[in-house]
Amino acid sequence: MLVKTKAIVLTSLKYGESDLIVKCFTEEGAKTYLLKRILKSKSKKINIAYFQPLTQLRILANHNNRGTLNSIKEAGISYLYQTISTNVFKQASAFFLAEILTSSLYEEEKNPRLFQYIETALIWLDTHDKTSNFHILFLLNLSKYLGFYPEMKEKNSLYFDLSEGYFTDAKPLNSFISGEKLILFKSLIGINFDVIGKLQLNSKSRAKLLDILLEYYELHLSGFRKPKSLNVLKEVFE
């Protein structure tokens, strides 16, 4: 079926001598495309430069049945980043989040709210200066669309049960956080990107929050893997 859709590039992998396999999150869901001979093609309809992590595109694509690779007939930029490609901190966040999304988004069903969240969040990253906490809040709020955002009923409790996703006064038997880590975690709950500049986080507290969120994702998403770019991200933000 031939469809027009927005798409956010997640990964691209060379296949053979001249082909590229590209995974995107689109308005139609997560899709994987085989771009034949693109590494040797001079076509103006599809540019190899478009398939960098988190590039936002508009594509004309053939979507096949499940289990088969799709194809792209035409592609163009939907939103052109102005700062992400030149700012080392934003670049580090982008590569990290591309890996996160690759491990998290594997459903082919439409999820327009999730697509809109990712699209607008990345534009926010591109258009704002105070972004050192962006990747942390992005992860927490992404969990809302993936179905395991923390339950808010007992936010003032002594513990947060990472396995169950709720606050409690009873010490959990499984993975949990308390004390300083719990205070840090609570500081993220319920806020949006426009106020993250007010969060008083140093590199150590930022690293602690990131480790908490990655463990949270591992507990709730089957097959989730910690990104290879994690160490680079931490070094950049030290």
Per-residue model confidence as pLDDT tens for the chain (238 residues): 899 999 999 999 998 888 999 999 999 999 999 998 888 777 667 888 899 999 999 999 999 876 678 999 999 999 999 999 899 999 999 999 999 999 999 877 889 999 999 999 999 999 999 899 999 999 999 999 999 999 877 778 999 999 999 999 999 999 999 999 999 999 999 888 988 888 888 889 999 999 999 999 999 999 898 899 998 888 888 7
Burial pattern 3-41, b for ≥16 Cβ within 10 A else e, equals eebbbbbbebeebeeeebbbbbbbbbbbbbbebbebeee
The pLDDT tens digits of the residues spanning 79-105 come to 999 999 899 999 999 999 999 999 999
Looking up tokens 């931490």 gives 234
Q: What is the pLDDT of residue 153?
A: 76
Tokens of 228: 């290879």
Q: What is the pLDDT of residue 201?
A: 87
Q: Which long-range contacts (CB under 8 A, 24 or more apart) does 153-158 make?
A: 155/186, 155/189, 158/182
CATH fold of 2-79, please?
OB fold (Dihydrolipoamide Acetyltransferase, E2P) (2.40.50)
Q: How far is CA 129 from CA 56, 83, 84, in A?
A: 20, 9, 11
Q: What is the pLDDT of residue 156?
A: 80
Q: What is the CATH number of domain 88-236?
A: 1.20.1440.120
Tokens of 211: 């480790």
Which one-letter DSSP state was computed for residue 171? P
pTM over cut 0.85: yes
Q: What is the pLDDT of residue 236?
A: 86
What ranges do the domains of the chain cover?
2-79, 88-236
Q: CA 180 to CA 15: how far, in whole Å?
A: 47
Tokens of 141: 């709020």
Q: What is the pLDDT of residue 138?
A: 97
Q: What is the pLDDT of residue 235?
A: 86
Burial pattern 178-210, b for ≥16 Cβ within 10 A else e, equals eeebbebbbbbeeeebeebeebebeeebbbbbb
Backbone phi, psi, residue 189, to 5°:
-65, 125
- 3-class DSSP state of 51: helix
Tokens of 190: 């319920």
Q: CA 15 to CA 17: how far, in whole Å?
A: 7
Q: What is the pLDDT of residue 84?
A: 95
- Asked whether the domain spanning 88-236 has the same topology as the one spanning 2-79, the reply is no
Q: What is the pLDDT of residue 91?
A: 94
Q: What is the pLDDT of residue 46?
A: 83
Q: What is the pLDDT of residue 10?
A: 96
Q: CA 166 to CA 163: how far, in whole Å?
A: 8
Looking up tokens 């709720």 gives 166
